[in-house]
Amino acid sequence: MALPICLFLGLLLSSSCEAYKALVVFGMPSNSHFNLGNGVVRNLLKDGHEVTYVTPIEYKNPPPNLRQIDVSSNFNALPSDKINIKILMEAPTPSGHRKFVKMLMINLVRRTLEHENIQRLLNDTNEHFDVVIVEHMFSDLSAGYATIFNCPLIWVSPVEVNSLSMGLVDVLPNPAYTSDALSLYMPPFNFLERLEELWIRITDEYNDYMVYEPLEAAEYERLIVPQIQKRGRQAPPYSKVRYNASLVLGNSHVSIGLPLGLPQNYKSIGGYHIEEEVKPLPEDLEKIMMSAKNGVIYFSMGSNLKSKDWPEEIKRDLLKLFGELKQTVLWKFEEELPNVPKNVHILKWAPQPSILAHPKCVLFITHGGLLSTTETIHYGVPTIAIPVFGDQFINVKKAVTRGFALQVKLSYSLATDLKVAIQEMLHNPKYRQRVKELSYIYHDRPVKPGAELRHWVQHVVNTRGAPHLRSPALLVPLYQRLYLDLIALLLVILRVLYVLLRNLYRRIKSKKIVSNKKDKKN
């Protein structure tokens, strides 16, 4: 049924669009990553393709062309106490622990590969895919899925363009103006920031060489290579496999991040996770929002911080602060609270896009996650951001620099600081103007991000891996890129010249001495 429609559309658009089989792997046990994975899956299903989706959270009532592979046990792989709000409030370095994050993510990919359901999929030599699409979270080991099924690999980068994601399909960009995924700085860097970015890059490369690549290569030998051999092929070396992606689909856009020079096979399609049509609000919520005379403030700290972990005094202070406002406050919180003021509504579940899209929504108080930031620009709502971990700090820094957000620190004085920020936001129109400008830039693209995603995946399938898009820089070893061979050659030439000239000089000098002696004798 879907195929004829697809072919018909294909004829109409004069681009070939045969249904293909895609394996989509999003193993991160987190709602926001599930959201991004859904964005990919929903778009592929729309064109009638057959999708196998590896996910820790399953769709209810999946359509017939979607097969789901459950890896919900991945939820046990992340130490949940690390994302506890009390611990985060006292943690001095918000994004440090690079090695910790990296090892955690390698472990997660390994766990996913070892999962019984995945093993069953990999063991079946009749399985066949035309393309493998995998979320990239710090580990390259999942590149092995594409090697097993002998088909093109597409990475999905969930974060802003950064040195790590660019390094998958090109040489590492210059650390003097590109930050790393966990960086806290935004270019132009000052001297110390620039040094730190360089230092991070050098230590990361060193650790990759000494620790991560050997570790991942060992897992590749153990978990991937036997599957390739079972299919009667020889396994390529891991060092080749990890850099063999056809495409990176980046969750980024210039309206949100930086306009960096990207490789041809790096496509910034930030916003594809947002459905093009805004779903209507549930009736009661629509009523609440419509009757808000002074607008609505929407407060959500995302899905990773559990409400039950919030310190009592902060909850109490926040309720008091919200109660004093003229605006209606929608607070996404999974817990009943006592003595909730009249203008405050606690929502256990919040249809975030529909709330942000509502004309009454005047302010979004957020943790500054990239999906929330993208949605806020999509719908043009200014924000107050309380970053908590990971890339939220750099996202918020960018948002503040761009002038549509204020940052408030997560601390025991949260309510006091928030009050100042809310007053500034509500009384100064510049934040709203700025976010509307960025929203214009965000929407002003030749094609919508979902359509762009579908186009590029189809292109990779049709051209069997789009080798014509790959950066030639990947074929050039580091010593050649730095012209170390030329420098070595010049040093040799200089040395030879020096020796020649020195010998010549000595010979002339000794001749002179000899002739001087002769003169004296005469």
Ligand X SMILES: *[C@@H]1O[C@H](CO)[C@@H](O)[C@H](O)[C@H]1NC(C)=O
Among residues 114, 116, 313, 324, the one that binds ligand X under rule CB under 6 A: 116
Nearest CB to ligand X, comparing residues 239 and 401: 239
| Structural element, H or E, at residue 24 | strand 21-25
Given the rule CB under 6 A, which of 117-125, 183-191, 469-477, 480-488 is the region that contacts ligand X?
Answer: 117-125
Where in 219-248 is the site for ligand X (CB under 6 A)?
236, 240-241, 244, 246
Smallest Cα–Cα separation from 94: which of 385, 517, 419, 518?
385
Nearest CB to ligand X, comparing residues 371 and 457: 457
Question: CB 45 → ligand X: shortest distance, Å?
Answer: 23
Nearest CB to ligand X, comparing residues 167 and 465: 465
- The residue number whose beta carbon is nearest to ligand X equals 465
Question: CB 133 → ligand X: shortest distance, Å?
Answer: 13
Site string for ligand X, 144-173 (x = CB under 6 A): ---x----x---------------------
Nearest CB to ligand X, comparing residues 121 and 256: 121
Nearest CB to ligand X, comparing residues 116 and 335: 116
Specify whether the CB–CB gap between 289 and 361 falls below 8 A.
yes
Diameter over CA atoms, the chain: 123
Which residue do the tokens 């019984």 mark?
116
Nearest CB to ligand X, comparing residues 265 and 439: 265
| Structural element, H or E, at residue 2 | helix 2-13
Specify whether the CB–CB gap between 456 and 248 falls below 8 A.
no
Question: CB 347 → ligand X: shortest distance, Å?
Answer: 41
Phi/psi at 131 (5° precision): -160, 145
Question: CB 152 → ligand X: shortest distance, Å?
Answer: 4
Nearest CB to ligand X, comparing residues 116 and 205: 116
Given the rule CB under 6 A, which of 9-17, 118-126, 306-314, 397-405 is the region that contacts ligand X?
Answer: 118-126
Question: CB 122 → ligand X: shortest distance, Å?
Answer: 7
Question: CB 131 → ligand X: shortest distance, Å?
Answer: 9
DSSP string of 167-204, one letter each residue: TTTSPPPPTTT---TT----SSP-HHHHHHHHHHHHHH
Question: CB 64 → ligand X: shortest distance, Å?
Answer: 25
Nearest CB to ligand X, comparing residues 344 and 461: 461
Mention every residue, 6+ apart, whose C-beta is less than 8 A from residue 16. 10, 458, 462
Nearest CB to ligand X, comparing residues 282 and 467: 467
Among residues 80, 119, 174, 229, the one that binds ligand X under rule CB under 6 A: 119
Question: CB 233 → ligand X: shortest distance, Å?
Answer: 9
Question: CB 244 → ligand X: shortest distance, Å?
Answer: 4
Question: CB 226 → ligand X: shortest distance, Å?
Answer: 7
Question: CB 250 → ligand X: shortest distance, Å?
Answer: 19
**Cα–Cα distance between 466 and 460 in angstroms, integer?**
5
Where in 463-492 is the site for ligand X (CB under 6 A)?
465
Where in 9-28 is the site for ligand X (CB under 6 A)?
none
Among residues 99, 120, 430, 511, the one that binds ligand X under rule CB under 6 A: 120
Nearest CB to ligand X, comparing residues 225 and 325: 225
Please report how the helices 98-114 and 116-123 are oriented relative to each other, as an axis angle in degrees rounded to 10. Answer: 60
Three-state SS annotation for 297-366? EEEECCCCCCHHHCCHHHHHHHHHHHHCCCCEEEEECCCCCCCCCCCEEEECCCCHHHHHHCCCEEEEEE
CB-count exposure of residue 301 (10 Å: 0-12, 13-18, 19+): buried
Cα–chain center distance at 344: 34
Question: CB 206 → ligand X: shortest distance, Å?
Answer: 25
Q: Which two tokens stand for residue 447?
A: 């094609």
**Cα–Cα distance between 456 and 102 in angstroms, integer?**
29
Instruction: Name 338's bridge partners.
Output: none
Q: Is the dihedral of CA 209, 200, 254, 28 positive or negative?
A: positive
**Cα–Cα distance between 359 and 347 in angstroms, integer?**
19
Site string for ligand X, 412-451 (x = CB under 6 A): ----------------------------------------
Question: CB 266 → ligand X: shortest distance, Å?
Answer: 16
Nearest CB to ligand X, comparing residues 154 and 421: 154
Nearest CB to ligand X, comparing residues 246 and 268: 246
Helix and strand totals (H; E) in the chain? 21, 13
- 380 belongs to the binding site for ligand X (CB under 6 A): no
Query: DSSP assignment, residue 469?
Result: G
Residue 380: CA atoms inside 13 Å, Cβ hemisphere, count?
Answer: 16
Cis peptide, bond prior to residue 353, ω within 30 of zero: no
Binding site for ligand X (CB under 6 A): 116, 119-120, 123, 147, 152, 236, 240-241, 244, 246, 465
